[in-house]
Structure 1
């Protein structure tokens, strides 16, 4: 049974419901239109707080989408396997001859709907450069980049417009930076200083 056909366990549904409940009680609201077809790389940035996960989950629930995320294959073992799959996890085999970029490109080709969430910073701390794997996945899969946004002062967030990668990383990231300049993260000092910097994968 594929992820799209899975029925999440009651534990997973309860966990998601609890987090979405927190999102709603805190007064957040979603905006934006989900691109069609629903196959894209969703950029989750800037990631400056653990609260980002809670509000991101609530925003995507309100928008009616269930994004996926990558995780090392060792996490998809008992007793966590079903929970990880229910939450949208996609196992990545680090021992495989294929690197994780190619594994995700293959996932895009295999699925009819796939919204892959990636936090290019890789940490909540300030970083000097984004890791560029998210960009290479989008290029390899022939799918757009979609900016995920959370503006803490207005308690709103959602999805920005689809940006089709041209192969010119710096020019494409300038478009991403322009969108992110309109939102304020929970900790602005850790914001978007690294968006135009390029890190080698």
Structure 2
């Protein structure tokens, strides 16, 4: 069982949902798409990842869509004094010493939790990159879960989910299809 987060805290969750919807509306943002409730497990990628504002906007979009999200991190960042806060914010500590790597450790999280949506940045950084990191793909493929295609477009003031994608095991072919689904929201140089 996963720990209680800001997405599941009784009084906090509805307040944050109202706050998120209100702030986005006042700022002129449009939230599009959704992650269907029946999609209990998935990797949610957020692209492009270009600024420190991506996390607060992503959380406001998640609250607006009423979709609880988690993220994974090395267990060392969950130590005192901030460990409890990190977990409450949706963090899942992963002990990399018990697995070969973060991919395998995260796949194991899906084996342990019937409902789990993990948010990740495919770029792995806020800087412009020539190629996405492949971890999000191999986690989704290894766990047998779809990838929800989240986006933030600061220019058009739009954010949300474009749909979902099921991996085939052919990373390069699937990545081309993912880029195609992002269309004008993303201009990767691959």
Q: TM-score range by the shorter chain?
A: 0.7 to 0.9
The reply to whether residue 192 of structure 1 matches residue 178 of structure 2 is no
> Which range moved further: 92-101 or 125-134?
92-101
Q: Does structure 2 retain, via aligned residues, the 8 Å contact 1:180–1:192?
A: no
Q: Aligned partners of 1:90, 1:157: CA distance in 2, in Å?
A: 25
Matching residue of 1:33: 34
The Cα of 1:40 is off from its aligned counterpart by 0.6
Deviation at 1:46, TM superposition (A): 0.9
Q: 1:182 to 1:69 in 2, by over 3 A?
A: same
Q: What's the CA shift for 1:149?
A: 1.1
Instruction: Please state how far the C-alpha of 1:111 moved relative to its aligned partner.
Output: 0.9
Q: Hey, what does 1:45 align to over in structure 2?
A: 47
Q: How far off is 1:3 after superposition? A: 2.0
Q: How do residues 77-88 of structure 1 correspond to structure 2 at under 5 angstroms?
A: 77-88=79-90
Shift of the alpha carbon at 1:18? 10
CA contact (8 A) 1:19 1:57 kept: no
Normalised TM-score (structure 1): 0.81
2:160 is paired with a residue of what secondary structure?
Answer: strand
Say if 1:77 and 1:150 are closer, same or farther in 2 by CA, change over 3 A. same
Aligned residues: 186
Q: Paired residue for 2:3?
A: 3
> Secondary structure of the residue that 1:55 maps to in structure 2?
helix
CA–CA distance in 2 between the matches of 1:48 and 1:97?
A: 30
For 1:76, which of 75, 78, 92 is the aligned residue? 78
Cα shift at 1:75: 1.4
Q: RMSD of the TM alignment (CA)?
A: 2.6
- Between stretches 75-84 and 31-40, larger displacement belongs to 31-40
Query: Which runs of 5 or more residues in structure 2 are unaligned?
Result: none
* TM-score, reference length from structure 2: 0.85
User: Residue 5 and residue 23 in structure 1: after superposition, are their counterparts in 2 closer, same or farther (change >3 A)?
Assistant: closer
Closer, same or farther in 2 for the Cα pair 1:49/1:29, shift >3 Å? same
Structure 1 residues not aligned, in runs of 5+: 185-190, 195-201
Alignment partners' CA distance in 2, 1:4 and 1:172: 34
Question: Residue in 2 aligned with 1:54?
Answer: 56
Matches within 5 A, 1:91-170: 91-170=93-172
Say which of 62, 65, 69 aligns to 1:63.
65
Is residue 35–residue 148 contact of structure 2 (8 Å, CA) maintained in 1?
no
- Output the CA distance in 2 between the equivalents of 1:97 and 1:59: 32
